[in-house]
Structure 1
Amino acid sequence: MTILSTRALNRATLARQHLLARTTAPVEAAVAHLCGLQAQEPHEPFTGLWSRLHAFAPDRLDQALTDRHVVRTHLMRRTVHLVTGDDALAWRARHDTMLRQRVLATYRRELAGIDPDEVAAAGRAVMADQQPRTMSALVQALQDRWPGPPRRALGELLVAALIPMAQLPPRGLWQTKAGVRNLPLATWLGQDPAPLPDDASDPVGQQLVRRYLAAYGPAATADIRAWSGLAGLPAAVKAIRDELITFRDERGRELLDLPDAPRPSPDTPAPVRFLPAFDNAILGYRDRSRIIDDAHLGLSVSGQRAVLVDGRVAATWTVRDRQLNVTPLRPLSPQEREAVAEEAQNLATFLDQGIARVEMTAVPDTVG
């Protein structure tokens, strides 16, 4: 079995994530290809798309959100994602059990004795008037019936698990601050989420596996599980295994892939790219060594924004006091510093927040 080096996996990931070369695809098509963008920080997807799309303009994403072509909703890993409306409807039922289990596990003591199905029915009855509500307002409407649980626990059970919800604009629009207002997906998108087919081969799971590999492969089944939060995909993988090809990584793990998916040469040059907080190019794997060093793994889950240099996380970046600050994690060569500074200036222009300067911290030669 062919062994793919870490660098080969890196270049495959960059190619499929549109980080090797920006794509001219429309916003909706790009969001669909990426299987969504993690979006609990509502403005981060704009940077994610700017780094991936040629001549990306923020109003394109705003239009997609207001036209209901893309939607903010809880999905993979019980995290708010920006996904296409079609994917939200097609995938939600496949995630229902995971979403419920994760909320109930998080608030095990607070929700003890609560019947989730009764809570869901009551919540749907309240939302039947088709009026957007905050989580707090929805909980308030049910407080007399369930006065015991903390409002946060009951609210997350309703909004993140029991009732498929969309977070409505202006939340998530460019340079707009707005709280979360929820409306059932069925109301916002005009149709109910598709039910989970009664099929042992798991056709929805098959679609998820194919789509994941197209955007993230080659990857192990553990990577698919880490990205989706779903444990029950073995049947789906088994059903399509004959369609797939296999490799091994340098650690000996079996990797699955689509036969015709891009796997560029490891020597392919990789441009500097600025990633937003919680970007799935990093978080979309169980083994993230293809893109980030073990010493820096904590950055990927703490919400720090990353800079890719030669395809790997080599710096972090922030915007503060009208200044874009880049902090290298390793010494950068003069050529690398120049490339980072140039892309940082491009990003500053895109962000259009009155950024007056770009500053890059020096790193001692002893830092590796």
Structure 2
Amino acid sequence: MTVLDARALNRATLARQHLLERAAVSPCDAVAHLAGLQAQEPQAPFIGLWSRLDPFDPAALDTLLTDRRVARLHLMRRTVHLVTAGDALAWRLRHGALLRQRLLGVYRAELTDIDLDALAVEAAELFAAGEPSMPDVGRTLAERYPDAGHRALGEAAITEVPVVQTPPRGLFGTTAGARYALLATWLGTEPHLLSGRVDAELVRRYLAAYGPAASADLRAWCGLAGLPAAVAAVRDELVSFRDERGRELLDLPDAPRPDPDTPAPVRFLPAFDNAVLGYDDRSRIIDDAHRLLSVAGKRFVLLDGRVAATWTVAGGVLVVEPLRRFTRADRSAVTEEGRALAGFLPDVERGRVRVASSRT
């Protein structure tokens, strides 16, 4: 069985993620291909698509959201994702057990004596009456469940009831609190649960955007249990490899696997980008020494396809903090791409980029 080293896997990931070359596809098609974009930070999808598409007009993504062709909701790993309307309807109920499990992992003590199914009925009435915030719902439910905290009740409501975050939350350059509407009302139809078909399609979609990958990588990306049966159901459609650890990697036969020596341009990623978080073994794109940064909300800079720096915006300046020593050519390439991003971001003065001193 062919062994794929970390560099080969890196180039495959970059190609699938539209990070090796910017793609000339619509934002809607990109969101669909990527099986959703991490949107825990409301502006993250815009940065993610800016780094992946040419051209990319943020107004086009705004229109998709206001026209309800994409939706923001809690899905994979109980984090907010921006997905197409069709994927929201197909995937939300499949993630219900995961969402409840992770809710109880945090709030079990406060919710132990509460019938969550009954709470969901009451919460759905509140969401149907308007577009309340989570704190609003939590405070209202506290009148019925005084022994639980407002936060726990609000979290339970948005977990147990299929809801979406509504605009202006998630529009480009805006700052707005999260308000919620019923998924079925917002998208005009009820979500559906076809578990076996959904799971098989999830496997195919994941491999198209993240493969070659192991079953453990698939599980880490979505957080769902019960996927081995889906993998087995589509295995005859797939090809197999091994990584340097000896793990079996599965892939779609015709998916791109570029030459490992293919040059990789500098790319800026938003916080929690799935190009990094979408794997159990993230060594194809980030060193183990920096792995915890991927769940700490850091924004990354890819250099030669790997995480080499973090970046932030401070005082109208895009600031890059290297995680290793940069050569003069590295600093030049990062600065050039940073200036392009600075021209895109509304909170950065055009062209203002500072690359800090390299770490030894």
Q: TM-score under structure 2 normalisation?
A: 0.98
What is aligned with 1:137? 136
Q: In the aligned structure 2, how far is the partner of 1:196 from the partner of 1:145?
A: 34
Amino acid at match of 1:165: V
Deviates more, 1:97-106 or 1:70-79: 97-106
Task: Kindly state the Cα deviation for residue 325 of structure 1 after the two structures are TM-superposed.
Answer: 0.9
What is aligned with 2:110? 110
Q: In the aligned structure 2, how far is the partner of 1:337 from the partner of 1:240?
A: 45
Q: Secondary structure at the match of 2:97?
A: helix
- The counterpart of 2:185, out of the listed 184, 187, 202, is 187
Task: Kindly state the Cα deviation for residue 337 of structure 1 after the two structures are TM-superposed.
Answer: 1.5
Q: In the aligned structure 2, how far is the partner of 1:27 from the partner of 1:99?
A: 27
Asked if structure 1 preserves the Cα contact closer than 8 Å seen for 2:133 and 2:178, the reply is yes
Q: In the aligned structure 2, how far is the partner of 1:251 from the partner of 1:127?
A: 48
Q: In the aligned structure 2, how far is the partner of 1:335 from the partner of 1:135?
A: 48
Q: Secondary structure at the match of 2:307?
A: strand
Cα root mean square deviation, aligned: 1.1
Task: Kindly state the Cα deviation for residue 142 of structure 1 after the two structures are TM-superposed.
Answer: 2.4
Task: Kindly state the Cα deviation for residue 94 of structure 1 after the two structures are TM-superposed.
Answer: 1.1
What is aligned with 1:246? 240
What is aligned with 1:10? 10
Q: In the aligned structure 2, how far is the partner of 1:313 from the partner of 1:27?
A: 25
The 3 A distance-change label for structure 1 pair 321 and 127 is closer
Deviates more, 1:316-325 or 1:264-273: 316-325
Task: Kindly state the Cα deviation for residue 38 of structure 1 after the two structures are TM-superposed.
Answer: 0.8
Alignment: residue pair count? 359
Q: In the aligned structure 2, how far is the partner of 1:140 from the partner of 1:295?
A: 42
After TM superposition, list the pairs within 5 Å mapping 1:145-184 onto structure 2.
145-159=144-158, 161-184=159-182
What is aligned with 1:260? 254
After TM superposition, list the pairs within 5 Å mapping 1:214-253 onto structure 2.
214-253=208-247
Q: Secondary structure at the match of 1:303?
A: coil
CA offset digits 1:208-231 (Å, max 9, x no partner): 010000000000000000000112
* 1:77 corresponds to 2:51: no
Asked if structure 2 preserves the Cα contact closer than 8 Å seen for 1:98 and 1:230, the reply is yes
What is aligned with 1:307? 301
Task: Kindly state the Cα deviation for residue 172 of structure 1 after the two structures are TM-superposed.
Answer: 0.7
Amino acid at match of 1:361: A
CA offset digits 1:69-119 (Å, max 9, x no partner): 111000000000011111000111111111111101211111111111111
Task: Kindly state the Cα deviation for residue 45 of structure 1 after the two structures are TM-superposed.
Answer: 1.2
Q: Which runs of 4+ in 1 moved over 4 A?
A: none
Q: In the aligned structure 2, how far is the partner of 1:138 from the partner of 1:77?
A: 23
Q: In the aligned structure 1, how far is the partner of 2:124 from the partner of 2:194?
A: 20
Asked if structure 2 preserves the Cα contact closer than 8 Å seen for 1:77 and 1:227, the reply is yes
What is aligned with 1:39? 39
What is aligned with 2:99? 99
Deviates more, 1:51-60 or 1:13-22: 51-60
Q: TM-score under structure 1 normalisation?
A: 0.95
Q: Secondary structure at the match of 1:40?
A: coil
Task: Kindly state the Cα deviation for residue 313 of structure 1 after the two structures are TM-superposed.
Answer: 0.3
- Structure 2 unmatched runs, 5+: none
Q: Secondary structure at the match of 1:231?
A: coil
CA offset digits 1:199-248 (Å, max 9, x no partner): xxx21100001000000000000000000011210110111111111100
Task: Kindly state the Cα deviation for residue 354 of structure 1 after the two structures are TM-superposed.
Answer: 4.4
What is aligned with 2:328? 334
Task: Kindly state the Cα deviation for residue 334 of structure 1 after the two structures are TM-superposed.
Answer: 1.8
What is aligned with 2:355? 360
Asked if structure 1 preserves the Cα contact closer than 8 Å seen for 2:37 and 2:273, the reply is yes
Asked if structure 1 preserves the Cα contact closer than 8 Å seen for 2:138 and 2:152, the reply is no
Q: In the aligned structure 1, how far is the partner of 2:252 from the partner of 2:126?
A: 45
Q: In the aligned structure 1, how far is the partner of 2:233 from the partner of 2:329?
A: 48
* 1:287 corresponds to 2:281: yes
Q: In the aligned structure 1, how far is the partner of 2:127 from the partner of 2:81?
A: 22
Q: Secondary structure at the match of 2:148?
A: coil
CA offset digits 1:156-200 (Å, max 9, x no partner): 1110x2101110000011111101110010010000101235xxx
Q: In the aligned structure 1, how far is the partner of 2:103 from the partner of 2:19?
A: 34
- Structure 1 unmatched runs, 5+: none
